[in-house]
Amino acid sequence: MPEPAPFVEARDLARYFDVSRPVLQRLFSGEGRRILRAVDGVSFTIPKGTTLSLVGESGCGKSTVARLIVGLYPPTAGRVLFDGQDLRQARAAASQRRRMQMIFQDPYASLNPRWRVEDIVAEPIRAFGLEKDAAGVRDRVGALLTQVGLAPQDGAKFPHEFSGGQRQRISIARALSSSPEFLVCDEPTSALDVSVQAQILNLMMDLQRRLGLTYLFISHNLAVVRQVSDTIGVMYLGRLVEVSPAETLFQAPQHPYTRALMEAIPDMAMAGHARAPVGGEVPSPIDPPTGCAFHPRCPLANTRCKVERPELLVAGGAMVACHAVQEGRATSMPEAA
Amino acid sequence: MSPILEVRDLRVEFPTRRGTLVALDGVSFSIAPGEVLGVVGESGAGKSMTGAAIIGLLEPPGRIAGGQILLQGKRIDNLRYDQMRRIRGREIGAIFQDPLTTLNPLYTVGDQLIETMLTHLPISPAVAKRRAVEWLEMVGIPAAAQRVQSYPHEFSGGMRQRVVIALALCAEPKLIVADEPTTALDVSIQAQVIALLKRLAREKGTAMMLVTHDMGVIAETADRVAVMYAGRIAEIGPVREVVKNPQHPYTAGLMASIPPLDRRVERLAQIDGAMPRLSAIPQGCAYNPRCPRVFSRCAVERPELLDAGTTLAACWLHAKAMTDA
């Protein structure tokens, strides 16, 4: 099968944050600058009409990647290519900018409480001048609300009159109002209850099929990610440790961190079953461990892992950044029973 | 074995300017020594409210308007504030979602443990000091002898929640009320904390009420589970039965809407609509407007918990089965 042309591409993307104390305090205490490497050397491609998900625990940098991809943060290093163009150029023209939109986690914080829903949804249409007159805007807003399972009359209401799930539908309607081709969804269902989460995930998958959307999906929930993704990237401390087609990742996870993550999830099918939890915690990204960042928690770590950082290399249908996998030591990993 | 906790027909009301809201109604259950009862439901179902009523920390103007709460056979729902204060900590330990707000930032974790033990247990300060270190060791904090002198901000989230667990358990209470104890933690830490909580409850014979929205956590930890909807218990029974063979249509819908980890489905099962607000709870069964198996009786009459074979379910489908038989 020929490799489809990437629609969105991240090349060696990095974003550092300066978290040093104020200059004067630093001078007195004789302390240097402190740099937090939120994202460090992340590369991936998303073919048109597919979903790439990034998973990982809090602080792994997945939300920072989302913001870099839509241009909310400028990258410290590396670049983002959108439909073959550098993101900076792509974002210079409004006609290009409207092609990408973002959906945020908290539908309580991302909608202006003083605006009526019709104005919230119409804002991108007006900003990009996509309709000529008020009647055109109104019709388009009505159609968008219908598309996400609300009624056109709901436009006259305020956000507080809606439940969390309905608010997230409004966020989706707003995101779709400029007819984007690419949506970045940062934990779109983690603030929602599980039965409502199913509604929103189904809606997002229907919309993708109908409109041919491309998604970058950020989540900490592996079960959700399994349902929506074509490709999955697992992040740990600002780096991708494994990138794999969704089914391959779940059937044969390779990186010890991916395995540990899967083992850690409480599973409905295992009622009354005890698991062996992963030891330790995610280290601070300000002062990450040398070599492979996962080595202090890894059951397979050896001296090489402590010194040399593994690159993301091809391994059995996936890309894995692990010395143990490359050396063939990972097969001997005690299988979690 | 007589239960540690017994809740009988509990009703909690919130008087407001626009009339009284009934937040909990007819909630009854019991927990045996060493047993873990999971309480699940979506936000607004009343699960945290049930926990707050038991530990006597309902947010005003909320109040217990009916029913009884019995701890080892003695009523605790009608105690004065100072009497209840003595029971909290000594007889009932509480663990909340956010470990940072539970701990006092101005005292070392050791001081907080020692103070709790000296308040509730007849032991000397020297013994309390030794036990504080033992507790930190027991909850898996490395270098406990040194960390006992650390302040809460010096611990990571997972370690802090371990300290909170030690604090809740150190006065050896009979009952633990844990409200979303792992929700603020990452999955890999969640598993550690849950395993710890469960082991300690088993060892000490402590009864535990575990409130969470995470069915996976319940499935692994609880012995029995109560599913709440709109302020009432929709179904209660052994965890395996409720998870694998739910008898209430709401439980069935809830279980089906959880994305499975072991396979990809074409479409997730969803429950349309949302949980009603307290001010607009439908007549009859509160679930009837969303229920796929609704029939005439559901919109008129409210079902009590009925025998549904393996579990108890508040659903008229099970009354029908009985009359047919």
| Residue B192 · residue B158 · CB < 8 Å | yes
| Across B213-238, average pLDDT | 92
**Phi/psi of residue A34, nearest 5 degrees:** -120, 120
The ipTM estimated for the assembled molecules is: 0.79
| Residue A238 · residue A37 · CB < 8 Å | yes
Any A CB within 8 A of B180 CB: no
| Across A18-30, average pLDDT | 84
Show which of residues 276-315 on chain B sit within 8 Å of chain A, judged by CB atoms: none
User: Is residue B260 over pLDDT 90?
Assistant: no
Q: What angle, 0 to 180 degrees and rounded to 10, lies between the N-to-C axes of helices B109-120 and B157-169?
A: 10
Is residue B153 in a domain?
Answer: no
Subunit contact B257:A197, Cβ cutoff 8 A: yes
Return the DSSP state at A55.
E
Show which of residues 145-174 on chain B sit within 8 Å of chain A, judged by CB atoms: 156-159
Which of B244, B254, B267 lies nearest to residue A195, judging by beta carbons?
B254
Any A CB within 8 A of B228 CB: no
Count of CB atoms within 10 A of residue B195's CB? 17
Any A CB within 8 A of B69 CB: no
Q: Which domain holds residue B22?
A: 5-91+173-324
Residue A164: list chain B partners with CB under 8 A. 43, 274
The beta strand positions in B135-256, using DSSP E, are 175-179, 207-211, 224-229, 232-238
- Of A165, A10, A128, nearest to B43 by C-alpha is A165
- B231's tokens: 């302020």
**Phi/psi of residue A199, nearest 5 degrees:** -60, -45
CB pairs under 8 A, 24+ apart, for A149-156?
A149/A199, A149/A203, A154/A117, A155/A116, A155/A117, A155/A118, A155/A121, A156/A116, A156/A117, A156/A118
Name the minimum distance, in Å, from the CA of A15 to any CA of chain B.
23
Note the pLDDT tens digit of each residue in B90-138.
Answer: 899 999 888 778 899 999 999 999 999 999 999 999 999 999 999 998 8
Residue A286 is predicted with a pLDDT of 81
Note the pLDDT tens digit of each residue in B46-63.
Answer: 999 999 999 998 988 999
The number of domains in chain B is 1
Show which of residues 92-111 on chain B sit within 8 Å of chain A, judged by CB atoms: none
- A47's tokens: 């073919």
| Residue A239 · residue A65 · CB < 8 Å | no
Subunit contact B191:A278, Cβ cutoff 8 A: yes
| Across A315-323, average pLDDT | 92
Residue B321 is predicted with a pLDDT of 54
Distance CA B163, CA B68 (A): 32
Residue A269 is predicted with a pLDDT of 62
The mean pLDDT value of chain A amounts to 88
Note the pLDDT tens digit of each residue in B134-164.
Answer: 999 888 888 899 999 999 988 888 888 889 9
| Across B189-215, average pLDDT | 86
DSSP three-state, residue A268? helix
The mean pLDDT value of chain B amounts to 90
Subunit contact B188:A224, Cβ cutoff 8 A: no
User: Is residue B187 over pLDDT 90?
Assistant: no
CATH number at residue B18: 3.40.50.300
Which of B192, B220, B257 lies nearest to residue A194, judging by beta carbons?
B257
Any A CB within 8 A of B216 CB: yes
Return the HEC string of B87-129. Answer: HHHHCEEEECCCHHHHCCCCCCHHHHHHHHHHHHCCCCHHHHH
Name the minimum distance, in Å, from the CA of A199 to any CA of chain B.
6
Note the pLDDT tens digit of each residue in A89-123.
Answer: 888 888 888 999 999 988 888 999 999 999 999 99
Rounded percentage of chain B residues whose pLDDT exceeds 70: 98
Instruction: Give the best residue of B187, B215, B310 to mutate against chain A (max A CB count within 10 A).
Output: B187
| Residue B47 · residue B211 · CB < 8 Å | yes
Number of Cβ pairs < 8 A linking chain A and chain B: 138
Note the pLDDT tens digit of each residue in A272-303.
Answer: 455 566 677 778 778 888 999 999 989 899 99
Residue B272: list chain A partners with CB under 8 A. 199
Subunit contact A266:B194, Cβ cutoff 8 A: yes
Subunit contact A282:B259, Cβ cutoff 8 A: no
Instruction: Give the best residue of A193, A203, A255, A282 to mutate against chain B (max B CB count within 10 A).
Output: A193
| Across A232-261, average pLDDT | 93
- B86's tokens: 């003595």
Residue A68 is predicted with a pLDDT of 94
User: Is residue A15 over pLDDT 60?
Assistant: yes
Subunit contact B268:A166, Cβ cutoff 8 A: no
Residue A51 is predicted with a pLDDT of 96
Note the pLDDT tens digit of each residue in A230-240.
Answer: 999 999 999 99
Note the pLDDT tens digit of each residue in A193-241.
Answer: 888 899 999 999 999 999 999 999 999 889 999 999 999 999 999 999 9
Residue A48 is predicted with a pLDDT of 94
Return the DSSP state at B260.
P
